[in-house]
Structure formats: C-alpha cells, structure tokens
Structure 1
Amino acid sequence: MTALSKLFRTTAFRLSLTYLALFSAAAIVAMFYIYWNTTVLLQRQLSETIDAELQGLAEQYKAGRLDQLIRTVADRSRTPGNSLYLVADKDGRRLAGNLTAVSPQLWNSLGPVEFAYRRPAEGGTERRLAFANVFRLPDGYRLIVGRDIEDRRVLARTIRSAMLWGLGVIALFGIGGGVWVSRKLLARIDAVSATTRTIMEGDLTGRLPVNGSGDELDRLSESLNLMLARIEQLMAGLREVSDNIAHDLKTPLNRLRNRVEAALREPDGDGPIYREALERTIEEADGLIKTFNALLSIARLEAGAGGENRETLDVSGLVRDVAELYEPVAEERGLALRCETSEPIRVHADRQLLGQAIANLIDNAIKYGAPEAGKSGNGTEPEVAVSARARGAMAEIAVSDRGPGVPAAERERVLDRFVRLEASRSEPGSGLGLSLVAAVARLHGGSLRLEDNDPGLRVVLTVPVEAEAHVNGAAQNATAGAEIRPT
C-alpha cells in the first residue's frame, strides 16, 4: 500500500471529504437562496418602478391625450438614467422617446417583456438588455416604458462566478485540510502502532506518545499508558512472586524431605519417631497450603474478583467483635488489647473479607508489636490499640502497637508479597498478611497506609462510608456467617 493510498484510506480523510461535501451543499443552497432572493427583489423593484411611471404617463394621457403624452415622454427621455421610453405611430415611426428602433417582436408584444437593444457607446454602439411594458394606444399607436437591466445581468453573472470560485476555494481548502489532518493523525497512529509493536515484542516499558494537546488521542494514550503501567506492575509482581515462591517454599519443602528421610533411616517399628515425623510433616503441609490459599486470595482480589457478598454493615461492631476474639491471644503474649470505637459506621463491604483484613492487622500487631526491651510504650503496659472512626467519606480502621515498628523506607515494600523484615523472621508467617489487607482495601475502593506510632507502628485501613445506609439485622453480629482466620 502506497503512502498516498494509505492516506486516502484514513478515517480522518474520509470524514474531511464528508464534511466538505456537506459544507459545499450547504454553501450552494445558501448562495442560491441569496441569488434567488436578490433576483426577486430586483425584479420587484423594477416592476414597481415601471408601474409607477406607467401610472404617471396614464394620468398625462388622460389629461392631454396623445400630445400631452408625447411632451411628457420627450421630457423624461432627456433625463439621464436607465429609463427607456418610446411613443410611435402605427407605422413604427418614433414620435418621442430615447429608443431609436425596436424589433418586430417587441412591436408586436403586449405587456411585460425582456428585449435587447443598442445604444451609443465609446467606439460605436453596445448591445444591452432591457425590461419593458408595451401598451397599444388607440389608432395603432404604441407606448413602451422600460428600464435598462444590463447591470442586473452583470450582477447575476458576478454572483454565479463568485459561487463557482467560492466552491473551488472551499474544495481546495477542504481537500488540503483533509490531507493535512490525515497526515497529522496518521503520524500519531503510526507512532502508537510502533509502540504497540514494541510492547507485543516483550518491552513492557514502552508508552504511547502524548503531545500535550489534551485532545481525545492524548486522553486515550494517557488511559492506555495507565493500563500499561498497571500491566507492567502486575507482570513485575508476578515475576517477583514466582521468585519468592521458589525461594520461600524451597526451605519448607526441603525440611519435609529431610524429615521423611530421617524417619526412613530409623529402625523398623520405631512408632513414636514415625508419628512425630508425620505430625511435623502435616504441620509443614498445612503451612504450605495456607500460603498457597493466601496467594490465591490475593490474586483473586487484585483481579477484581471476590467481594460478591457485599452488604451494609457496621464496621465499628465488626472491629469490636474481631478484637474480642483476639483478646485471649493478646493476653498470652502479655499485651493489653484496647478497642476504641465511636458511633456506628455503615459501609457496604464483604463482611468476610473485611473481617479477614482486620484480623490480619490485629494478628500482626500481636505477633510483632511487643515493645523492645526497656521500652514500655505508653509508660504503663505493652498494648495493641484498635479503633474505628469516620473521617469524611471514609471509615478508618487503625491498629497500633508499641513494637519496633517499620522503617519509613520499608513501609511500601512490606505491602508486597513474601516480604518479611529481619525482626519478624523469628515469628511464623509467610509475609502475605499485609498484601492481603492491601488487596481487600483496593477491592473496596479504599487504601492501606503505615504510619509511625512513636514508638511502634500504626496501620490504617480505609474503606468508603455508605451514605444513609441502614444496618440490617445480620450486621449487628459481626461474626455471623464469617470465618475469620489470620494469614
């Protein structure tokens, strides 16, 4: 396909031709309307002028018969202008007027008529067009009263010429503009196509060009660039997850294999050793299954799945009930679990997912929130504080502890999958808890942020508040129909 044929096949060029055709048709109609109205107006003015002169001459004829008519026509003929007069006898001899000769067709006509006549001009005579009324008087006399309309014919010819030239200029600019617009659009489309080809070849860092004009192509490119950035992020996350799975699951799988080999090396019939090996193997298998289930949950949430069972619920009641479930666990760790909630806060959310997220935050705070040696946090006793408050259009669920906290440089990274800081390596876990909470927040249109609790860590989960929602009966029991398990 040649560049010219490619240009002519573009939608922009076809649209330009369509607009050109429509505009040309509208221009033709408008010009014809102007021409027609101008012609009608001039014809009306001409007829009214001739009728007025005829009325005046008729009065003169009634007053003084033919002699008075001849004198009046002779006087008017001497006045310069475009008026034409002729009074002739039955033999065609001119008695008065500025028409020197008439054709047989004009002489035999009656009423309004257009005719050509000649009049003196520089270098001889010229042929001109006139419009007149022919009246037959008694005894075969003729009275012709008319006006020179050669200027009107010149005006009509000028209008027709202007129409043709105007249409030509419109067509020239229309086609030229269509070619220019098509070339500009084709250049941008080619740039987009080139970028998409590089992306299809595996370079996910490519982005569609944006020229900063803010037009529809820029808006489309910006939206696609956001999509490409999200795809690149997901692919990077997928590669990271694959690497993390290969790294983090290799150790428990090796432990499984070594434990089974150690059991097999024992003498036959040593039941307690076999039993212990099987129990430890089951524990490791349960941990692996739990890790894979968490990965599947995060993948489903990030893909927009899940949350089908949303309902209007009181998030304050949900926080209180989940905190109540973890009070014995906190006591075993020597921590005080304090829950602070205000009036009911109504949100439209999936109870099980939101409860799971809150449970993960409290579980993490209990595991890693013990104060460091010699630091009691608030001066009384180690504690984990859970609160739920409405802030504008968002409900904030905050879980804070008095532990070592998370360095500011690491707060974004710990939201990724399988990320565990060195201080948390001694506790069981897979590093998926905060990733799951962040996925739940995004699914509900909220966010998850980590803040300094000075000392300790404060984790804030936000979800949108549902305006004027009514808590149904089931929402009063936050744990009804929901199984809450930390990840």
Structure 2
Amino acid sequence: MPEFAVFRTISFRLAAAYAVLFVVSVAAIMGAAYAFATSEIRGISEREILHDMAAFRSAYREGGGRELSLAVRERSEGAPGDSFYLLLDENGAFLSGNIPAELWREGWFEGRMGDAVVRQSQDLMDAAAMNTDGEVRLFSHGERLGNFRLLTGRNSHVLHETQEIMLGCLLLGCLAITIVALCGGYLITRGPVRRVNAIAGLTHQVVSGRLAVRLPITANGDEIDRLSADINAMLARIEALMESLRQVSTDIAHDLRTPIARLRQRLDLLSRRPPEDRAEFTSGIEGAIEEADTIIETFNALLRIAQVEGGARRARFRTLDLAEVAERVCDIYRDVAQDAGHRLEAEIEDQVFIEGDADLLTQLLVNLVENAINHVPEPSLIVMSLRRAEGEALLCVGDNGPGVPEAERERIFRRLYRLDRSRSTPGTGLGLAMVAAIAELHGASVTASDNAPGLALQVAFPLSVTR
C-alpha cells in the first residue's frame, strides 16, 4: 500500500473526524468566550455612559440649561482620554463638549471617526495618538433634554481591538489544532496500517497456497494482536484440515482400492460362472454384497466424521453426567468383551458433569472399547476409568495388550490409518478418527500413551461450570 493510501484508511478517517469534532468544540468554547468578553466590555461602557447621562439629567432638573451646560463643560475638561461629551442647542449649535457638533446621533451609535473629524478635537487627536493604528471608534448615546441635544460617548477602540485579537486567536488556534490533529492522525495511523498491510500480504500468500505462513504478534496485546492470533489459529486449522484432506485422499486411494478390487474380481468371476452352479453363484453374490457394505460403511463413517467436525451437533449440547454414560457403555460391552475372551472392568467416579452431546459421547466410548476388544489379543484386561482432576474429567480406556509403538501413537487418530498387524482384523480404520473428532467438538484433548504394558487412550474433558 503506498503512503498516500494512509489517508483512505478507516483509522485516518476516524482521526480526522475526531480532529473536526475537537476543532468544532474548541471553536464553540472560544466563540462563547468571545461573545462573553465582548458583552462584558460593552456592558461596562454602556453603564458608564448611562451613569453620565443620569448625572446630566439630574443637573438639568436642578438648574436647567445653565447647570447642564456647566456640568458638560466640567466633565469635558476633566475627562480621561476615552470619554467624550457634546451639548447642542435646539438649532444644533455647539454649546459645550470636547467633540465636534457633527457627531451628534440620537440613541445608541457606534462607528469609526474619520481623520477630518478627529483633527477638529484635541481630545480626539489625543485618543487617536494612544492607539497604534491612530483610530478612534465612538460608542455613544444621544438624547434630547428639553431644547437641548446631549451626547455621551466612549472610545470603543479597545473593545474592537479585543474582538480582533480574540478572532485571530480563534482562527489560528483552530488552524493549529487541525494541522496537529491531522499530522498526529497520520503518524498514529502509519503503525496500524503497516500491520494491516502485513495481514493483507499474508492473505495473498495464503491464496497462493502457502498455508504455513503466520502473522507476527507483538507484546502490546491490542486488538490487532488479538486479530493476528485468531488469524494464525484459523490458518493452523485450515492447514490441519488440508493436511487431513490430503491424508484422507491418499488413504482412500490405498485402503479402498483393495475392497473395490476384490468386489470387481468377484463380480468378474460371477459374470463368467455358468448359470447352473447356483450355490457358488449365491455365495459370490453374498461376498460381493459384503464387500460393497464395507465400502459403504467406510464412506458413511467418513461422512459422520465430517458432520462432527463441522460442529452441527453443538446445538444439542447440554449438561450431563459422563459417569452415567460410561457406566451404561460398560454394562453393555462387558458381555461383548467376555465373548471375545477379554475382561472389561470399570473404575468410575460418581457425578462427573460436562457439557456435551450424549449420543456422540456414547459413540466415543463405544469406539474406544471396541478398539481395545478388536485389536488386543485374548485374553486381556480392559479397564475404563473416569475421574476428576484439576478442572477436567479424565476418561481413560487402557489394556494390557502389545500396545502401539511410540512413533505411531499420533497417527492412529488419522482417518483410515491402521497398523500393519491390524489390517487382517475387521474395521475401517475410522474408529479412533471419530474419537478425535468428537473430542475436538467437545473442547477435549485425546492422547495415546504407554500403559506398561499395553495402550492407554485418554480423553480430557473440561468440567461443566454450571455444577
């Protein structure tokens, strides 16, 4: 992914959205501060102007026009550099004050005074000289008192300058925040983008058939690490399934070739057998049917394993007592084992509760017991044990037969895999593969170990948390 593509990522868009939200929030806060400060400064000027107007009204009421003119003259002569006064007669002629008569406006007024007007008043020129830009802005209130026109005002240049400064700070602050947020979003996004690119590159390798690749996991433990771990687990699962598929295809080609060849041979002999030899003809037909049943049984077993591995039976899980299932299987197969010349014993703890499918667990136990009965020479002792240990239910079926070489103990759980000495015994080589599939569906682990002598097959189930 090129660098400019970072700007199209969800992470950068999210960072940009947060930047916009932050800028809007800051603008709203600074805008509120601007409005509050403007209102407060203007309010101070308004209160001063209204206070002066109240004093002039009082003077007019007490002494008429003479007292009013005297009050305006005194205020004008002692006024600070930002206070302005004007008194006109009824014809608009100048009576007293410190600003030109042409500035009279009735009511509230605010505006910038031109240079020609400023030069007509020494107080206005002094006020202009106090400002760096030489500007004077008049904020005034004029009203009529009898036959007189009275105006009181202040230089609002400070208010205007404050507004400009706050607006400039607002714009510069928003611009700076936007730049910092976008640059920060870009820098922060680059790391996750590189890791996402690694995931995308790995998926391309997987599509090309390289299932052994894995994503690196950092020590951060963040969501990308968790995603990488899940992807690695998924790839490991896919790799195992593909390996299982290849193994099944190979085993089917080897193990089913013999019964299919025997079936064809029987049918070929029957096609050449004279019709009058009915006894041999019937025997041949029965043998062909038996070979066909073996092939059908093998494929049905493969389908059952595929269904179990697909997880469709998980919906039937419930809390059950594995001890009851084990006792029932032992009761059924005790006589079967005796007829085969073996002895089946049970060492089962009471009330071992797990989450599972009773039918599948019964199938698992049956397969373990039948595996021992069919592949252990008589007479042998077969022991089924069940106990609780460290949060697990440990189910074990052990015998005192010849056992399985250590190098082949992991292979016996593969589909259609059979030891050389077991190829003469009945079976499809799918019993322990079914055990492994059912155990995996239940979140259990199955292992084969030395029983000294013999073989011990152990399945460790997680105990139910509801009991």
Q: TM-score, normalised by structure 2?
A: 0.78
Alignment partner, residue 128 of structure 1: 136
Alignment partner, residue 401 of structure 2: 403
Measure, in 2, the Cα distance between the counterparts of 1:466 and 1:7: 48
Compared CA separation, residues 415 and 103, structure 1 to 2 (3 A): farther
| TM-superposed deviation, 1:243 | 0.4
Measure, in 2, the Cα distance between the counterparts of 1:104 and 1:149: 19
Alignment partner, residue 198 of structure 1: 205
What amino acid is aligned across from residue 125 of structure 2 in structure 1?
R
1:239 aligns with 2:246: yes
What amino acid is aligned across from residue 37 of structure 1 in structure 2?
F
Measure, in 2, the Cα distance between the counterparts of 1:37 and 1:454: 90
Give 5+ residue unaligned stretches, structure 2: 119-123
| TM-superposed deviation, 1:190 | 5.0
What amino acid is aligned across from residue 69 of structure 1 in structure 2?
A
- After superposition, give the CA deviation of every residue in 1:349-373 in whole Å (9 maximum; x if it has no partner): 43332211111111122234559xx
Measure, in 1, the Cα distance between the counterparts of 2:356 and 2:145: 104
| TM-superposed deviation, 1:237 | 0.7
Report if the CA contact (8 A) 1:73-1:87 is conserved.
Answer: no
Alignment of 1:228-267 (within 5 A): 228-258=235-265
Aligned length, in residue pairs:
449
Local SS of the residue matching 2:330: helix
Measure, in 2, the Cα distance between the counterparts of 1:333 and 1:258: 32
- 1:450 pairs, out of 443, 448, 451, with 448
Local SS of the residue matching 1:126: coil
| TM-superposed deviation, 1:321 | 2.0
Alignment partner, residue 432 of structure 1: 430
Give 5+ residue unaligned stretches, structure 1: 372-380, 470-487
Report if the CA contact (8 A) 2:270-2:284 is conserved.
Answer: yes
What amino acid is aligned across from residue 203 of structure 1 in structure 2?
R
Measure, in 2, the Cα distance between the counterparts of 1:286 and 1:362: 23
Please, which moves more after superposition, 357-366 or 275-284? 275-284
- After superposition, give the CA deviation of every residue in 1:456-476 in whole Å (9 maximum; x if it has no partner): 33323344555668xxxxxxx
What amino acid is aligned across from residue 343 of structure 2 in structure 1?
A
Please, which moves more after superposition, 54-63 or 426-435? 54-63
Compared CA separation, residues 392 and 72, structure 1 to 2 (3 A): farther
Compared CA separation, residues 61 and 407, structure 1 to 2 (3 A): farther
Local SS of the residue matching 1:338: strand
Please, which moves more after superposition, 159-168 or 11-20? 11-20
| TM-superposed deviation, 1:119 | 2.2
1:69 aligns with 2:65: no
Measure, in 2, the Cα distance between the counterparts of 1:18 and 1:67: 64
Report if the CA contact (8 A) 1:119-1:125 is conserved.
Answer: no
Measure, in 2, the Cα distance between the counterparts of 1:126 and 1:312: 90
Alignment partner, residue 153 of structure 1: 160
Report if the CA contact (8 A) 2:322-2:353 is conserved.
Answer: yes
Compared CA separation, residues 465 and 178, structure 1 to 2 (3 A): closer
Compared CA separation, residues 332 and 221, structure 1 to 2 (3 A): same
Please, which moves more after superposition, 229-238 or 312-321? 312-321
What amino acid is aligned across from residue 109 of structure 2 in structure 1?
V
Alignment partner, residue 480 of structure 1: none
Report if the CA contact (8 A) 2:349-2:386 is conserved.
Answer: yes
Compared CA separation, residues 183 and 429, structure 1 to 2 (3 A): same
Please, which moves more after superposition, 333-342 or 152-161? 333-342
- After superposition, give the CA deviation of every residue in 1:67-98 in whole Å (9 maximum; x if it has no partner): 87368536743xxx554144656442546xxx
Report if the CA contact (8 A) 2:364-2:434 is conserved.
Answer: yes
Local SS of the residue matching 2:312: coil
Alignment partner, residue 114 of structure 1: 110
| TM-superposed deviation, 1:383 | 2.0
Measure, in 2, the Cα distance between the counterparts of 1:300 and 1:174: 53
